Structure 1
Amino acid sequence: MDDAVRRRVYGADHDAPWPRPRRVYRELVGGPLDGLLLDITGWTEEERATGAPLRTEIGRYGSGGRAVYGPRPGASHFWDWRGDIP
Structure 2
Amino acid sequence: MNGDDEQLLRGRVYGHDHDDPGPRPDRRYAQLVGGPLDGLLLDITDRPCHAPATGVPLRTELGRFGAGGRAVYSPRPGDRTHLDWSGDIP
Q: Which TM-score applies when normalising by structure 2?
A: 0.81
The ranges of structure 1 where at least 4 consecutive aligned residues each deviate by more than 4 angstroms after the TM superposition are: none
Letter of the 1:64 counterpart: G
Name structure 2 gaps, 5 residues minimum. 1-7
Q: Aligned in 2, Cα 1:78/1:46: closer, same or farther, shift over 3 Å?
A: closer
RMSD: 2.0
Is the Cα contact below 8 Å between 1:9 and 1:17 reproduced in 2?
no
Q: Share of identical aligned residues, percent?
A: 67
Paired position in structure 2 for 1:36: 40
Count of residues in correspondence between the two structures: 82
- Which of residues 61, 68, 81 is equivalent to 1:64? 68
Q: Which TM-score applies when normalising by structure 1?
A: 0.85
> For residues 43-82 of structure 1, what are the structure 2 equivalents within 5 Å?
43-45=47-49, 48-82=52-86
